[in-house]
Structure 1
């Protein structure tokens, strides 16, 4: 296998200054009191006040700190030291208590050294991990008895469709070959990245659920959503703070979310 970890760390370190300046992340809006969380996440996770929460693959920490604003005792983990440095800076500027740790997600139990009521992860996180079994085992090791994993992700079905209209199947849903991308931009805009190569891994919905079950977690729900966070296909229209197929058009799953509890 290619050295995905080294390649992706360089790529994500390069994304940090680009994302900080982007409208997509709207760091200024967050510092002014905004939240990076989506309404369906808030409804599905529920009250977090006084609960310990670990956010895996936290990037700039905006989601992490959004949970802190709701009263959670938060820890964020990411493999990009540049991102963690910025997360700490944003937390300090906003006066939000938070712990941020630089580590690979597979090393999270050792790196964090404690357990939590909630492990939160997403969006767009799993595509960077080659082994979901190891990931789910790390999640299970981080949970207190009765605690739960909450995952919100882009639906893997969208990746088999053409990138324009999403009307035609052009890729193999069951292909698990690592995908090496050479692309000069991030998803936030047109600033050129210093390190443009990345390695990604496709996982089907069954892969995710099976890994979670094998790690001993009990699935509470799996929800498929007909909306997403950006205009994934050209025919998507803005609605309720996201994007979905226009009225009357056949709907497809664009995102999913699940919750699984430790026994």
Structure 2
């Protein structure tokens, strides 16, 4: 499924690869503030897809490695890195659970996971252990993800339509892609899992990382609830360059996105 969607995504208006090549940064404004200065830092992006977020960190000065299980996605990321002059960016093909072996025990100052990654993982405990193994002493894991509360709401956003504690697996057979819902596709079966916020935090801390913060945000990246309004990303001290979606003024706000940072202590 993911292999088939790589050319769909690289050619889509959603990813706007031409705009990225022209200099756009795809990180959300709050991410830059919460991660901090990445100049010269070794950053690993797990489940990096075609590499636009990975290379956005490179544009901020990080020495980046992206990892994804889709060969075509890794090839697209490498080509994009070459096109934008980020020749030092490295992309590795491997399943996320196999990352420590694929990277031969290398560790990183920052391990980053972005939006829409955790729902594809059946074993959150093993994912957290894997991420913790990849974090160098004194470094940290940073996660920005869709909030599970928002993902359980009905289309009108006024009530829960899904069971928050139903973890899955959930199997779907739907054509198209979030980048182009009308695109004709052949490989449409997917299996997803839902991870309540408590499960995420418990897995991260049980893996030996110290939670520094958990932040919740009142906007998201897709228009999936009725009445959502499009807005410019103004999160963080510098804001972002992308578009976000919020509920209109007058409606109760809900958490739609969350971020967390968890560090690995330096051994005595």
- CA RMSD for the aligned pairs? 0.9
Distance, in Å, in 1 between the alignment partners of 2:18 and 2:249 is 34
Q: Paired residue for 1:147?
A: 139
Q: Paired residue for 1:171?
A: 162
- Displacement of 1:170 after TM fit? 1.6
- The C-alpha deviation readout for 1:193-233, integer Å capped at 9, x for no partner, is 22111100010000000000000000000001001112121
Q: Paired residue for 2:260?
A: 258
Give TM-score, length-normalised by structure 2: 0.92
- Displacement of 1:149 after TM fit? 0.5
- The C-alpha deviation readout for 1:166-203, integer Å capped at 9, x for no partner, is 22212111112201100001001121222111100010
Q: Paired residue for 2:236?
A: none
- Displacement of 1:159 after TM fit? 2.1
Q: For 1:227, what is the secondary structure of its paired residue?
A: coil
Distance, in Å, in 1 between the alignment partners of 2:186 and 2:83 is 28
Q: Which of 1 and 2 has higher RCO (CA within 8 Å, sep 6+)?
A: 2
Q: Paired residue for 2:81?
A: 91
Q: Paired residue for 2:241?
A: none
Tell me which stretches of 4 or more aligned residues in structure 1 moved more than 3 Å.
none
Of Structure 1 and Structure 2, the greater helix share is in 1
Q: For 1:82, what is the secondary structure of its paired residue?
A: helix
2:168–2:192 CA contact under 8 A, matched in 1? no
- Displacement of 1:248 after TM fit? 1.5
Q: How many residues align?
A: 252
Pick one of 189, 199, 203 that aligns with 1:211.
Answer: 203
Distance, in Å, in 1 between the alignment partners of 2:212 and 2:167 is 27
- Displacement of 1:154 after TM fit? 0.3
- Displacement of 1:245 after TM fit? 1.2
Please list every run of 5 or more consecutive structure 2 residues that lacks an aligned counterpart in the other structure. Answer: 234-243
Give TM-score, length-normalised by structure 1: 0.94
Q: Paired residue for 1:74?
A: 64
